[in-house]
Structure 1
């Protein structure tokens, strides 16, 4: 790992022996707070948000490197909520969020990384991918749209793509928000029960839910094949939203601290400037 990991429930995926089933979606250790009390996490989140705001401003001022944050999850896994929490208080001028849905006809006419590369972060920026290039080794694999040989080639392409980004000065952090099948059922039902949230419900989610085990296997394979010291995957127990948010923010702040962005030296004599 390129930086010292803070203590969180998140699991760094290391090696081909990783098993997704070994990660408990309910895990909140070492936070040791009441799992349903968001208020318990708020003081630490406020502290981390303040530090993230400072680090993001320094990264923007330095204008030499960037940070890419990839979020993947099963439906209702909490990607939108995690992004909202993470970016609270940061300067929107230095942040971009890219969401990848089903590819358009034009996108399908290109290689699978074409639409993603265009959204890679600019120097000085933090970019968050809400879904990502990994969709092409997940839904395509589950639904048999690619064969095993093509899937393995896509793993290689993804690793090479992320290596290119790293060589261009981009730090990469990837998070899989891990919820249980039971938790997903509760969240889907909540969308049906609350008229204000009906718009979030997609009947297609029920069809995809039937492939739960297949998706778990596809995620596990992608995590195993595409996690490295310089482009790590973290599995974040996400049944408890406050613990999910705290874990992600802790890791992002730790990575930026390790990057230690520095503002540029002024190209003028500061002491000679007189404001009348």
Structure 2
């Protein structure tokens, strides 16, 4: 009769020192040098050099929210959360970097007119890069046309001229305006037209209270009570100017 030999199971991991014991003296706010061990869509994992890993979320890599790391790269990070019992470590590289708005404020001031390149579109506007610093161009400062978005008139890679209208280093906020460097088309329109003149345009937007008509460089409102016919977006509209006040133009059939 054969007898199975006694099986003995060994754990190399158990025989090795616990790397989390080695870092138990680290605290929130401490700065440590690490190497990038894994890169994911949502951030990166970093190795403290002893096998213990921490998580670096993509929002904590830099102020642009873009992953510019490479595998094996050595970086300094700040500990933002640590729990050695649960083997949990979160770190931030962004906290150790200068805020872009602070760097921007050292070179430029409110009112400066600068050139930049459109790099990205978002719901509220676009990001424009000026001397390597990303600043915000809100939709409302893109043009004089109401409701027009940055993505409607600009393309990625476009070089545009903008005016600095807000610099808040403490909040890392820089806002620029394209509209403020353009000639005001409503002023030009007022030089060529007056109340009572007939104009033609195309219906651009339809709302509960009326329609907006595209007259080229400007838009005009036609209230429902001033319309005799029904229109669809894209239809041609011909009407008379009944109000001309700055950027407010109203028409009636």
Q: Provide the TM-score with structure 2 as the length reference.
A: 0.19
Greater relative contact order structure (CA < 8 Å, 6+ sep)? 1
Larger Rg: 2
Tell me which protein shows more strand as a share of its residues. 2
Tell me which protein shows more helix as a share of its residues. 1
